[in-house]
Amino acid sequence: MRAQRGAAILTAMLTVVLVATLASGMLWQQWRSVEVESAQRTRVQSAWILTGALDWARLILREDARQGGPDYLAEPWAVALAPARLTTFLAAERGEALVGDDPDGVQDAFLAGSMQDLQARLNVTNLIESGKLHAPSMAAWTSLFKQLNLPESELLALTQQLLLAYAPVTTAAATTQVQPPLRPQAVADLVWLGLSPATLQVLDPFVMLLPVRTPVNLNTAAPEVLVACIPGLDMAQARTLESARDAQHLSTLADAEKRVGDAEIKLNVAEHAVSTRFFSVTGQLRVGQTTLQETSVMQRDGLEVKILSRTREVVQAGESLLQ
């Protein structure tokens, strides 16, 4: 009898453990399904919100094109969107005041964004023209490398790889076993062509890869880029020009030459401009603890604004525009 009672107790304990295990497994599966569904819903909603923000940016660029004239940093497209709750926009649309907290937690979603002129940078595409190095562009890149104290050997390696990548395909070359490097699609791809990650990190704010040759917009370029793209200009003159254009934007290249105040410095339409066609739009949406960032490259030709590329990623808190 004593042995039978011990076996019954052991069987009961095993049954309790089995039931608890099955119950916890079911609860975990249910929790996982809810979390997956919630994450999927947040991802889809975030994608639609960022798409709407991108359409808003396109509308701003189109309206700016209607006004015409040069592009400068005091225009509406250059004003960044500070972090704002999505309910702020919804309340403004309904003509209501935002009071209290949203029971649905929508106020936990924050939207921020900014737009940049990509022609304020040196264009990688400008280095190669008709399968050869473009001398003025090479001089500009050499000047930029010197200002940033970067190794010119890496610039030489980069240009050699670009020459191979953009070389016209001939019958003789097609029969050889040597494969030319792939053409870069983004600035990050330059590490394949001779630049070290450390060099690219320093160079990144001053260069861009665009599909066509572009002049530098003198209204938006940084002083380092101004010194690089304008032969004979020193840093003091570049900062003076920057201060002058901040007070009153440059309307023409002749106006820019006048502001420089050096008769020996001449500008040309092939290398310099006061307007732009290419813009970068960055939008960030923070939902809870997750920040989703989308960066788009846009081309504007007249009133037509088209999207060339879109990249989306989850960023760390320190990299967020929402901080």
Q: Domains of the chain by range and CATH?
A: 42-119+277-319 (3.30.1300.30)
Q: Given this model, what pLDDT does residue 307 score?
A: 93
Identity (one letter) of the amino acid at 49? I
Q: Is the pLDDT of residue 71 over 80?
A: yes
Question: Which helix (H) or strand (E) segment is 40 a member of?
Answer: helix 2-67
Mean pLDDT of the chain: 85
Whether the model pTM is above 0.85: no
Neighbours of 51 (CB within 10 A): 14
Neighbours of 267 (CB within 10 A): 22
Q: Is the pLDDT of residue 170 over 70?
A: no
Q: pLDDT of 178-225, one tens digit each?
A: 678 889 999 999 998 989 999 999 999 999 999 999 999 999 999 999
The values of phi and psi at residue 305, to 5°, are -120, 115
Mean local confidence (pLDDT), 10-32: 82
- C-alpha 123 chain-centroid distance: 15
Per-residue DSSP letter, 169: P
The values of phi and psi at residue 287, to 5°, are -120, 110
- Report how far residue 92's alpha carbon sits from residue 98's, in angstroms, rounded to the nearest whole number: 8
Write down the number of H helices and E strands in the chain: 9, 11
Give residues with Cβ within 8 angstroms of 26, minimum separation 6: none
* Sequence-distant contacts of 94-98: CB under 8 A, at least 24 apart: none
